[in-house]
Amino acid sequence: MQENNVMPDRLNMLQRIRYSIFPGTLQRPAYRQRYRNFFNSLFLHFRPRSVQERTLRFTLTWGLGGMAVVLVCMLFGTGLMLKFVYQPVPDRAYESIIHLQNNVLFGQLIRNIHHWSGYMLLIIVFLHFLRVFFTGAFYPPRQFNWIIGLAMFLAVLTSNITGYLLPWDQLAFWAITICTGMLEYIPGIGNWLQGLVRGGSDIGSATLSIFFAIHTAIIPACLLVLMPWHFWRVRKAGGLVTPRSPDEDEDSEDEKVPTIPNLILREIVVALVLIAVIMVISVLFNATLGAKANPGLSPNPTKAPWYFAGIQELLLHFHPLFALFIIPAFMLIALISIPYINYQTATAGVWFGSYRGRHMAAVAALTAVIITPIGIVADEFVIDFAAWLPNIPGEISNGLIPFTLMLTATFLFYMVMKNKFKSNNNETLQSVFVLLVVAFIILTITGIWFRGLNMKLSLPG
């Protein structure tokens, strides 16, 4: 191998330094190729050697899964740095954040990156979930990956909730008081579960250590297991779904191209753009920090974190048993069942399944955009089952009755869509999914921006 080495005396200073660190880089091409092959094959242990050319189209994945991975890495990196300064006890938590922001080099920036990446991750994972649904990537053989995805969604949500408490300011304290208060309404185990999560009857030092342990150890450990499992399932399914137009045959052949550089370059570009966006946001906008938590003074209105604003909004229209338990449990069961329903066709890779599916999805979205605000305003000013039926328990007048009405309306929507469009069950169920998702987004927007003093409807600002 001696003859392959470049003589060190023919090198300039920079080359000599580089040579001392990476001896392979200055050697003859054949030798360099061996280094490259070595690194490539190391890398290809966890990536496929080649991918279908069509799956590289940006309009299949929109880079969302990859962005989620990058954000999780950024959260792990910045989270570990925050751990050096943050102190998870009520007397010191808030002060440690102030110290981090004022006295630690780049402390504020690192906190900002963690804060915005956490929020962005939730949005990106939600969009990824929608893209997976609308491209039919949950049909066999990908059913179980959908379930792993849902578990990761829950993990990311739990990370955000537990992280929310850590700064120990008024916003954090009262938002988590509301969130953990919601647990009370789970029949049978509600009070026990609430005590377990809070580490007692109130939010205090036990709650902070529990949330800190969940945030910095348990959820990261779960993600470290779930993520590789998720990616392994993508590979076991033979890669991503092949995107195709509704008229195209499922078996239409596609060319394979090497992962390096075709996929890798695209992934690097998406990652760099995302990192740049997060950096710009983190430089321009600081993570909020209110006054130190004061258990004796609740703000008005007391709002849950923004990602729970939809559920908090439901609470204004339904009895808590329905808003906090029965409706979310229904939704969760529906989400878990999605890949296991007996569908009439399998349309993996076709956005919205068919041209008719696209049309129906648009009609469903428009229906939700019109009906939901009307329902919210009507319930605020006109409908009041509790006052109309004073002798009936709240669970029925404010719970069972409006819930049954909602279910009936959803069923009617299903039947009308099915008859009007002469659609199969894939398309009709998809339109119901769109209706519910858009309605939930509108409830969330209303909760965040259109609820003011005493949670009354009001314009933002």
**317 makes contact with ligand HEM (CB under 6 A):** no
**361 CB-contact burial (10 Å; exposed 0-12 / middle 13-18 / buried 19+):** buried
User: How many residues touch ligand HEM (CB under 6 A)?
Assistant: 50
Stretch that binds ligand HEM, among 74-82, 306-314, 359-367, 448-456 (CB under 6 A): 74-82
Stretch that binds ligand HEM, among 22-30, 115-123, 270-278, 409-417 (CB under 6 A): 115-123
Cα 116 to Cα 137: distance, rounded to the nearest angstrom:
29
**287 makes contact with ligand HEM (CB under 6 A):** yes
Stretch that binds ligand HEM, among 126-134, 248-256, 358-366, 446-454 (CB under 6 A): 126-134
Stretch that binds ligand HEM, among 33-41, 112-120, 401-409, 452-460 (CB under 6 A): 112-120
What contacts 14, CB < 8 A, 6 or more positions away? none
**163 makes contact with ligand HEM (CB under 6 A):** yes
What is the β-pairing status of strands 50-52 and 256-258? Answer: antiparallel
Q: Using CB under 6 A, which residues numbered 167 to 186 contact ligand HEM?
A: 167
Nearest to 184 by CA among 328, 324, 331: 324
Residue in 74, 120, 132, 274 binding ligand HEM, rule: CB under 6 A: 132
Q: Using CB under 6 A, which residues numbered 1 to 60 contact ligand HEM?
A: none
Residue in 51, 179, 210, 240 binding ligand HEM, rule: CB under 6 A: 240
Residue in 26, 69, 389, 396 binding ligand HEM, rule: CB under 6 A: 69
CB 285 within 8 A of CB 112: yes
Burial 234-255 (b: 16+ CB within 10 A, else e): eeebeebbbbbeeeeeeeeeee
Please report which helix (H) or strand (E) contains residue 257, including its range.
Answer: strand 256-258
Residue in 74, 113, 137, 176 binding ligand HEM, rule: CB under 6 A: 137
**145 makes contact with ligand HEM (CB under 6 A):** yes
**152 makes contact with ligand HEM (CB under 6 A):** yes
φ/ψ of 437, rounded to 5, equals -65, -45
Report the residue number, 140 or 393, with the smaller CB distance to ligand HEM: 140
**164 makes contact with ligand HEM (CB under 6 A):** yes
**115 makes contact with ligand HEM (CB under 6 A):** yes
Helix 205-213 × helix 143-165 angle, to 10°: 140
Report the residue number, 8 or 228, with the smaller CB distance to ligand HEM: 228
**229 makes contact with ligand HEM (CB under 6 A):** no
Report the residue number, 145 or 367, with the smaller CB distance to ligand HEM: 145
Stretch that binds ligand HEM, among 12-20, 153-161, 255-263, 318-326 (CB under 6 A): 153-161
**198 makes contact with ligand HEM (CB under 6 A):** no
φ/ψ of 292, rounded to 5, equals -60, 150
Residue in 16, 28, 36, 83 binding ligand HEM, rule: CB under 6 A: 83
Range 273-276, long-range pairs (CB < 8 A, 24+ positions): 274/63, 274/67, 274/70, 274/71, 275/70, 275/74
What is the smallest separation between the CB atom of 97 and ligand HEM, expressed in angstroms? Answer: 6
Query: Please, what is the end-to-end C-alpha distance for the chain in angstroms?
Result: 73
Cα 360 to Cα 367: distance, rounded to the nearest angstrom:
10
Nearest to 305 by CA among 330, 282, 281, 288: 288
What is the smallest separation between the CB atom of 144 and ligand HEM, expressed in angstroms? Answer: 9
**308 makes contact with ligand HEM (CB under 6 A):** no
**114 makes contact with ligand HEM (CB under 6 A):** yes
**Residue 291 has which token pair?**
């006054």
**138 makes contact with ligand HEM (CB under 6 A):** yes
CB 346 within 8 A of CB 140: yes
3-state secondary structure of 265: helix
Cα 211 to Cα 180: distance, rounded to the nearest angstrom:
12
Residues within the interface to ligand HEM (CB under 6 A): 61, 64-66, 68-69, 72, 75-76, 79-80, 82-83, 86, 97, 111, 114-115, 118, 121, 125, 128-129, 132, 137-138, 142, 145-146, 149-150, 152-153, 156, 159-160, 163-164, 166-167, 215-216, 220, 227, 230, 234, 237, 240-241, 287
